Structure formats: C-alpha cells, structure tokens
Amino acid sequence: MKITRKSFTTAQGRNFQVTYWTLTGARPGPVLTIIAGQHGMEHSGPCLLPEFAAELADRDFAGTVHICPCANPLALEMDYEFYPEREDLSKIKDYYYSRFRHNFCPWGLGRSDTKTMYNMNRLWNRPGDFGVAGQITAWLWQEIASEANIILDLHCHQARKPLIFNSHAKNLPIARYAGIEAVVMTNPDPEDWSKGNLTWQGSRRQNSYAICFEFSVQHALGEFEYEFGKQAIRNIMVGANMLPGEVILSRPVWVIPYDPEGDRNAVLQSNHTGHIRYFK
C-alpha cells in the first residue's frame, strides 16, 4: 500500500497533513476512489476505511483503489462540519450538539444562515481561492478523483438508517450494488453552490460514476454500521469486476425519485391503520 501525504497551512498558521492510500490490484481494472471525513462530525468513514484498507491489502483484486480516510482532519478534531480557519476558533468551546438545534452554528455560518465556502463539499473542481479547504479539494481532485471511474463519498446524517444520495440516473447501476435500501435522487442541475459537491462533479465525465453514502450517526461512533459500510464497498467492487464473488443484498434496494416540489423534512401520515415492519 502506497501512502501519499501533503502538508497544508491554515490562515492562522497551523500546519497539518492530509493522507491518502493507493492499493494496486494484481490485474488491470477500474479506478475506485473513496473519500471520507469532509465534514468533521461524520466519523463512520474515517473509522471504517483503515479497517477496509487493511483487509483489501491482503486480497486479490483488479484495478486501483485510492482511499482518503479523512479529507478534513482539523474539522474532525473539532467534531464540527467545517473548519472556519479565519474565524475565532475559541467559539467552538460554546458549541454543543443536539438534534433540536441541528443547524446551530457558533459563527453564524450554518446552512440556515448562509452558503459558506468553508464547507469543503462545495469546493470540488471549483476554480478560485477558497482557503485551505479549497487547497485540499484541489489536490485530491487532481491526485485521485478527476480520473476515477467510481467515486464513493462517505458521509453521515442524522436518521434511522443509512441511505445513498445520487444526483444522476447513470449512477444507479453502481448504487444498486451497495445494498443500502434507499437511493435518494437529488437535483441533477442544482444552483452553483451545490455544483461543487464531490459526487456531482465526479459524475460529469462519460466513464465516471459517483455516489454519496450517508451513514446514520453524527457526532458519535456508529460502530454498528462499520461492517455494513465495508460490505457495501465490497459489493460495489464485486459489481465492477474488481473483486471475485457475488453481490450480497440483505434487503431490497429502492430508488426514491427527485421531487423538485417536495419537502424532504415533511411528516409522513397515513389514513390507514396497522403496523409497519421496520428493519434497522
């Protein structure tokens, strides 16, 4: 396994490194890039990817796999979505999280407040000077993302179960292999801020497919989902003929169409009585 590191310096002079690993298979095949840790309160990807890399290093596979376990280590250190390098960082001491104040930001830069460019997942393949987060995305894009055939962007949201966000129908043949029950279609032509999303940019080339895994716990260790996430990656590699074996689906996979008029936070109600059999 080849290890590549690059040093960066924040606006306030702090030095740190970002790392990615490259594993080369025994035979030619697709290029798979897996990136996690863009948002610092989303811990599942940074925790499960070292385990997956160690496993893959001992397996016979085809193609090339690039893994960046944590693209935004200073945000991870703060347990916060982004790293506001030009702000008063001491304000993080006054921050606590609960699901009742999901959008609260101690710097007034939350998603309900503004469209901040501190958010790393709005900076992919975006020209301009966007500070250290932009430098990281520019480096990773050039090194491991721009020519990848498959990109998996690992995140966490707050929900009962994991899901996949997907902006383009062409990615569905890849997304279906993961075994994550809900593939939620998103706006294929969003406004400019959202076009800096890794999976939107990563889907633009003809032979490039990019989807977003969303695990189900933020600000915590969702250890119960680590094996589930590793199996989803194995499934995609099997489907792409990078690994031998069969795709393992424990549940059916459903596509949830994009509804431009829909409210994704709406409360669902039914006129019928009965029970819902719910699988976690």
Type of residue at 246: E
Q: Where are the domains of the chain?
A: 2-256
CA distance 246 to 234: 9
Exposure string of 208-232, with b = 16+ CB inside 10 Å and e = fewer, is bbbbbbbbbbbbeebeebbebbbbb
CA distance 57 to 251: 28
How many Cβ atoms from other residues are within 10 Å of residue 244's Cβ? 11
Query: Of 157, 122, 8, 131, which Cα lies nearest the Cα of 73?
Result: 8
CA distance 30 to 62: 7
Q: Which two tokens stand for residue 169?
A: 């129908």
Proportion of the chain in helix, strand, coil states, percent, rounded to 5: 30, 20, 50
Q: What is the pLDDT along the chain (280 residues), one digit of tens a residue?
A: 999 999 999 999 999 999 999 999 999 999 999 999 999 999 999 999 999 999 999 999 999 999 999 999 999 999 999 999 999 999 998 888 776 677 789 999 988 889 999 999 999 999 999 999 999 999 999 999 999 999 999 999 988 899 999 999 999 999 999 999 999 999 999 999 999 999 999 999 999 999 999 999 999 999 999 999 999 999 999 999 999 999 999 899 999 999 887 755 555 566 766 665 555 5
Q: How much is the pLDDT for 81?
A: 95
CA distance 130 to 144: 20
Reduced to 3 states, what is the DSSP secondary structure of residue 147? coil
**What is this structure's pTM?**
0.92
Q: How much is the pLDDT for 21?
A: 99
CA distance 67 to 151: 10
Q: In sequence order, which residues have a C-beta less than 8 Å from that of residue 40 and are 6 or more positions away?
A: 72, 74, 75, 76, 77, 78, 79, 80, 81, 82, 83
CA distance 120 to 137: 7
How many Cβ atoms from other residues are within 10 Å of residue 141's Cβ? 21
CA distance 240 to 156: 24
CATH code for the domain defined by 2-256: 3.40.630.10
Alpha-helical runs (H) found in 183-266 = 198-202, 226-239
Q: How much is the pLDDT for 96?
A: 82
Contact 240, 65 (CB under 8 A): no
Reduced to 3 states, what is the DSSP secondary structure of residue 214? strand
Q: Which two tokens stand for residue 77?
A: 């250190």
